């Protein structure tokens, strides 16, 4: 059983390195991903504004055409005035001209609003295009470095997985599975000793019968409180170690 405990301790060391690498694999691309996300958002903003601008430009062209038509109508009506013979005809024509003037005013106003909006949009596009270029450059320069770091960590991870496999031979799968979960959950410590009747992982006092079971080392026993694997710490072991 001592061999099993030694293996578990060895396994724990490798697991901790593995977890560290896993955390790094998550952390390394975070900053770059945030920049990429921002870059995409800006790209979308530019596209949306360009669409809006195109739509407005089309509308401005339409308004210009309408304005021309109204102007021609107005000229046509005005050219008829000298030929008018009756008051009724005169009233009818001036009425038409007033209506055309009203339309011209509406069209003119809409055209001015559209022009103002286009100006605003141009400003937005200009600002975002500058930012877009900056981010693109920073993505370009960081991408390679991040990829390089990730590749290195992946290699390390593979190495640790291999080591883990080597250490694990002879241990049963369920124990390994449980142990890995405990190490992950319990601040990296999955195997602890019992010293002075106390679990060194969580400091709970354990009953004598339970301690005897651990001492007998027939099966792997988990702490009823913190779930860590327990082994018995012999006082004389410490003395021996001190003498060495």
DSSP structure string for 5-45: HHHHHHHHHHHHHHHHHHHHHHHTTHHHHHHHHHHHHHHHH
Q: Which is nearer to Zn ion, 57 or 193 (CB)?
A: 193
Closest distance between Zn ion and the C-beta of residue 192, in Å?
7
Closest distance between Zn ion and the C-beta of residue 8, in Å?
15
Give the C-alpha separation, 156 to 228, whole Å: 27
Question: Which residues lie closer than 8 Å to 30 by C-beta, 6 or more apart?
Answer: none
Q: Pick the closest to residue 200 from 226, 165, 182 (CA basis).
A: 226
Q: Which residues make up the interface to Zn ion (CB under 5 A)?
A: 199, 201-202, 223, 225-226
Closest distance between Zn ion and the C-beta of residue 198, in Å?
9
Give the C-alpha separation, 230 to 213, whole Å: 10
Closest distance between Zn ion and the C-beta of residue 184, in Å?
16
Q: Which is nearer to Zn ion, 63 or 199 (CB)?
A: 199
Q: Which is nearer to Zn ion, 8 or 226 (CB)?
A: 226
Give 176's DSSP letter: H
Closest distance between Zn ion and the C-beta of residue 202, in Å?
3
Q: Which is nearer to Zn ion, 46 or 223 (CB)?
A: 223
Q: Which is nearer to Zn ion, 131 or 202 (CB)?
A: 202
Give the C-alpha separation, 24 to 21, whole Å: 5
């Amino acid at each position: 059983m001592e061999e099993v405990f030694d293996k578990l301790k060895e396994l724990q060391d490798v697991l901790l390195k593995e977890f560290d690498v896993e955390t790094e694999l998550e952390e390394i691309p975070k900053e770059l991903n945030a920049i990429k996300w921002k870059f995409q958002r800006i790209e979308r903003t530019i596209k949306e504004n360009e669409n809006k601008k195109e739509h407005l430009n089309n509308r401005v062209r339409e308004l210009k055409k309408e304005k021309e038509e109204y102007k021609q109508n107005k000229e046509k009506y005005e050219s008829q005035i000298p030929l008018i013979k009756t008051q009724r005809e005169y009233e009818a024509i001036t009425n038409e001209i007033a209506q055309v003037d009203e339309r011209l005013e509406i069209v003119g106003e809409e055209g001015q609003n559209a022009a103002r909006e286009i100006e605003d949009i141009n400003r937005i596009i200009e600002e975002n295009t500058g930012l877009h270029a900056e981010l693109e450059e920073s993505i370009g320069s960081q991408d390679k470095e991040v990829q390089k770091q990730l590749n290195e960590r992946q290699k390390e991870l593979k190495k640790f997985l291999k080591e883990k496999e080597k250490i694990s031979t002879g241990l049963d799968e369920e124990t390994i599975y449980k142990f890995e979960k405990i190490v992950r959950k319990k601040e990296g410590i999955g195997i602890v000793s019992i010293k002075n009747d106390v679990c060194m992982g969580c400091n709970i006092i354990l009953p004598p019968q339970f301690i005897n079971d651990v001492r007998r080392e027939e099966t792997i026993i988990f702490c009823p409180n913190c779930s860590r694997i327990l082994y018995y710490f012999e006082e004389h072991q410490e003395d021996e170690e001190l003498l060495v």
